[in-house]
Chains A and B, each alone.
Chain A
Amino acid sequence: MKLIVDTKNITPVYKQIIDQITVAIINEELKEGAQLPSIRQIAKDLAINPNTVAKSFQGLEASQLIISAGRKGSFIHSNAIENIKEMNTAQLQQVLIDAINQCRDLGFENQKIKKVFNQLISGEKI
């Protein structure tokens, strides 16, 4: 799998790496338990600072998507896909909470919000 970073992109390079590895895990391009190249190796290939790659790996480790086993290297977490799903669910909840709060601010009742939401989900015309 190829890792591509664009240094001119607004998204920071470390975030680009995290996003691409996350997507690769979901698409099963990187299988659970698979080993990743070392931080130095990736930094060398991309001609970027090793600290940038280390920051990405720290982020992935904090999200329990990879496990760092010291000198042995970094591996994809055995529950990586489930963890991503949990993370995504939490993100979905947050997005919906924000949307519901906005709707309430606009003066809609719960019944109306539910009705519109169900219509949108089922693809009906409002």
Chain B
Amino acid sequence: MTEQGVLIFIYLIQVIVFQFFTTPLMSKLSYKQALAKNKQWVLENNNILQKFPPPKFNLSYIAGIILLFILGYGAYVGNSKLLNAVNSFSILILLFQTFVIDPRYSREIKSFIPEPAIKEANLEPRLFSTYLSATKRYVLTALAIVSVTLWGAVLFTNNVSLTKELVVDFSSSFILIICFYSVLVYTINRSPLKTSLEASKYYRLLEIKFLYYSLIILFMRSIYMGCIYISESLNLWPFHSILNNLFFTLIPLITFAWFCFDKNIKELANESFVS
């Protein structure tokens, strides 16, 4: 089997496993789990709003959707007709799951969650950077500077086709991130647990973390692409295609794993409370 064949085979397995089995199963199980837990809360706690709801279940669901898009994009990069067909079909499955199956679970869970009467909000204007620690701001700034510098260097080589390729690559990454973010926000907005303020705080944390790590992926990716283009144009750094593809798959996955375990997004704890 050729190298391209191996890649396509790996992508095919990944796409089928994640898009047809893992994601729908995670979604179904997580909703059932949430339903069971919420029933239990209502039964056990008279003052249910003092308890932190367990919105963690949604993380696995969001993870599934993000993986789906990453792998779908991988399939697109793999550029096989079979993969594209599988990917397109699996997106139909996702849409069916998102618009038909999940709302049914949502309605069922929602009926068990009371809405708090007293709600609080901070009246100071906040930007995305407000929530990031100094270290996180430095990391983002440094990556952005390196990324822009490399881009400048590529543009400086005055290679029209290279520049076009870079612009297309960066734009596609950017569009991909917008897609991820839209799915995340959509998922959050229709979540049954959003009625609880503690849960909505948790979802805002997810959104901010998502934006932060997405930007990291975007900058790292553009740095990597910039390095490849420059080295290729100067014949300095012959990258192996498997290494390239591993980068495209592994970096988002590693960053996403980091995202899942990082809790250090500041100041959200003082934002809103359940009363």
Contact = CB atoms under 8 A, between A and B. Distances in A.
Interface centre among B117, B125, B272 (most CB of A within 10 A): B125
A45 interface: yes
A2 interface: yes
A97 interface: no
B88 to A, nearest CB: 34
B272 A73 contact: no
A3 B120 contact: yes
B234 interface: no
Interface string B160-195: 000000000000000000000000000000000011
Contacts of A36: 123, 125
B200 A8 contact: no
Interface in A1-49: 1-8, 21, 24, 30, 35-38, 41-42, 44-48
Interface residues of B, number: 19
A7 to B, nearest CB: 5
A35 B125 CA distance: 6
Nearest to B117: A8
A45 B118 CA distance: 12
B121 A46 contact: yes
A48 B119 contact: yes
A2 B118 contact: no
B126 to A, nearest CB: 6
Interface in B87-142: 115-126
A6 B117 contact: yes
Given A36-B123, A37-B125, A38-B125, 13 more contacts: A1-B122, A2-B121, A2-B122, A2-B123, A3-B122, A6-B119, A42-B123, A45-B120, A45-B122, A45-B200, A47-B194, A47-B197, A73-B125
Nearest to A37: B125
Q: Which 8 A-B pairs have the closest CB atoms?
A: A45-B121, A8-B117, A1-B123, A46-B119, A35-B125, A3-B121, A45-B272, A37-B125
Interface residues of A, number: 23
A73 B194 CA distance: 25
A42 B115 contact: no
Interface of B: 115-126, 194-195, 197, 200, 204, 271-272
A122 B125 CA distance: 45
B117 A42 contact: no
Nearest to B119: A46
B197 A6 contact: no
14 contacts: A1-B123, A2-B123, A3-B120, A5-B118, A6-B119, A30-B123, A37-B125, A41-B121, A41-B125, A44-B204, A45-B121, A45-B122, A45-B272, A47-B200
Interface string A34-69: 011110011011111000000000000000000000
Given A44-B204, A47-B194, A47-B195, A37 B122 contact: yes
